[in-house]
């Protein structure tokens, strides 16, 4: 991660660790929401974030659970699906970014993977003047429920060609979104985009979307 620094984000009554990278001359900042059972160390999200840094966008990857909560969640698998809670924490992270000298002037984008996509959309719905674009990678935007109709930010839903159930859920969610929405299907890709070149295509799509809508 270029110019990455570990930070502590006070949000929704807890403090969460994150990794913030702000390239010189950044034109926007993208807040990442990882998927269920993952963390800010997700290699896929970090690869996408590095590409966004190279394209002149700042990034913030953060853990959505505290260390204590994560220990509980490993056993129960419950907190990772508490979408309203994760959404509130991401909203707090948007506010945290806007309160900083380096990222405060920058338009915000949210990037969500798996269940994190729902949290990314909730943040966009709750902070419509701050969040200017949303990208979902193999996400579950449907889990945002009633918040979908409140989203104003242009939304890109990226799904693997061989992830049919998630593709259908994305199509349903796109019909509930009030914002402009596009669905991009990555040929040959499965849910985790592990196939050669698949994640690189996600990188390009995300960079283009954020660059276009956060400018």
Share of the chain above pLDDT 90, in %: 78
Q: Considering the domain delimited by 4-214, tell me its CATH architecture.
A: 3-Layer(aba) Sandwich (3.40)
pLDDT on residue 2: 57
Predicted confidence (pLDDT) per residue in 40-64, tens digit = 878 888 999 999 999 999 999 998 8
Whether residue 108 contacts residue 29, with contact meaning beta carbons closer than 8 Å, is answered with yes
Domain boundaries defined on the chain: 4-214
Mean pLDDT of the chain: 92
Residue 122 has pLDDT above 90, yes or no: yes
Between 169 and 68, residue with greater pLDDT? 169
Residue 70 has pLDDT above 80, yes or no: no
Residue 119 has pLDDT above 80, yes or no: yes
pLDDT on residue 42: 81
pLDDT on residue 41: 75
Q: How confident is the model at residue 73 (pLDDT cuts 50, 70, 90)?
A: low
Predicted confidence (pLDDT) per residue in 77-118, tens digit = 666 668 999 999 999 999 999 999 999 999 999 999 999 999
Q: How confident is the model at residue 147 (pLDDT cuts 50, 70, 90)?
A: very high
pLDDT on residue 1: 46
Predicted confidence (pLDDT) per residue in 173-211, tens digit = 999 998 999 999 999 999 989 999 999 999 999 999 999
Per-residue pLDDT, averaged over 15-29, amounts to 95
How many Cβ atoms sit within 10 Å of the Cβ of residue 194?
A: 11
- In this structure, what token pair is assigned to residue 70? 């994560």
Per-residue pLDDT, averaged over 55-77, amounts to 82
């Amino acid at each position: 991660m270029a110019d990455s620094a570990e930070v502590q984000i006070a949000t929704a009554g807890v403090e969460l660790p994150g990794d913030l990278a702000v390239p010189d001359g950044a034109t926007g900042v993208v807040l990442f929401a990882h998927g269920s059972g993952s963390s800010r160390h997700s290699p896929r999200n970090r690869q996408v974030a590095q590409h966004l840094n190279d394209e002149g966008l700042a990034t913030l990857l953060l853990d959505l659970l505290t260390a204590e909560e994560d220990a509980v969640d490993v056993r129960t698998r419950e907190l990772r699906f508490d979408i309203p809670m994760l959404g509130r924490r991401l909203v707090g992270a948007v506010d945290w970014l806007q309160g900083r000298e380096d990222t405060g002037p920058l338009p915000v984008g949210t990037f969500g993977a798996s269940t994190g996509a729902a949290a990314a959309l909730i943040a966009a719905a709750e902070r419509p003047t701050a969040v200017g674009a949303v990208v979902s990678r193999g996400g579950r935007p449907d889990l945002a429920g009633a918040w979908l109709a409140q989203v104003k930010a242009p939304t890109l839903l990226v799904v693997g060609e061989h992830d049919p159930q998630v593709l259908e859920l994305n199509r349903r969610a796109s019909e509930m979104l009030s914002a402009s929405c596009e669905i991009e299907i990555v040929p040959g890709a499965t849910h985790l985009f592990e196939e050669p070149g698949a994640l690189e295509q996600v990188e390009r799509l995300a960079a283009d979307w954020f660059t276009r809508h956060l400018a």
